[in-house]
Amino acid sequence: MRLRPRHRVGVSGAPGGISLGNGDGSFARPSTLTGGWDFTQTIAGDFNGDRQADIMARDGNGTLKLWMHNSGGTFNGAVDVTSGWNFTQITTGDFTKDGRADLIARDTAGPSRCGPGNANGTFGAAQTLTAGW
């Protein structure tokens, strides 16, 4: 799956299902990404620079796990990306304007932090952006 405006990815359900967008606002039937799905937040983005939508999720301990997309709609096994991310909200985008997917998260104490993407599925040290949110 190439990242194009008509493609959307949805991740949900206890077994970790993934649904690819049909381009008309509807989604295909979900296929299983992994079993034992127990994550608090999920996001999709191109985290390794291959123009394929990867999946990232945070578990209850604050560990971010990454499933990198293979061709044909399948994904590699989960890789731990970071740990100790004690945040309440997370999003992805190219916030540093370097062409790489970055992470922005809001800490439970209020500060927003940016983890700049390295285009290989890893992230640089989180930098505090704002406080008191």
pLDDT for the residue 5: 39
Domain membership flag for residue 68: yes
Share above pLDDT 90 across residues of the chain, in percent, rounded to a whole number? 1
pLDDT for the residue 110: 73
Domain membership flag for residue 107: yes
- Contact between 120 and 49 (Cβ < 8 Å): yes
Mean per-residue pLDDT of the chain: 75
Q: Look at residues 69, 56, 67, 68 and name the one whose alpha carbon lies nearest to residue 105.
A: 56
Domain membership flag for residue 125: yes
Q: Look at residues 105, 126, 107, 128 and name the one whose alpha carbon lies nearest to residue 116.
A: 126
**Which range marks the domain in which residue 117 is found?**
9-130
Q: DSSP states of 19-59 as a string?
A: EEB-SSS-BPPPEE--SS--EEEEEEE-SSSSSB-EEEEEE
pLDDT for the residue 6: 39
pLDDT for the residue 8: 45
Long-range contacts of 89-95 (CB under 8 A, 24+ apart): 89/41, 90/41, 90/43, 90/58, 91/43, 92/43, 92/44, 92/45, 92/47, 92/56, 93/45
Domain membership flag for residue 2: no
Domain membership flag for residue 124: yes
Domain membership flag for residue 4: no
Domain membership flag for residue 106: yes
Domain membership flag for residue 81: yes
CA 26 to chain centroid: 21
- Contact between 1 and 53 (Cβ < 8 Å): yes
Q: DSSP states of 58-77 as a string?
A: EETTS-EEEEPBPGGG-BPP
Number of domains in the chain: 1
64-118 pLDDT tens trace: 888 888 877 677 888 888 766 677 788 888 888 988 889 888 877 777 888 898 8
Whole-model pTM? 0.68
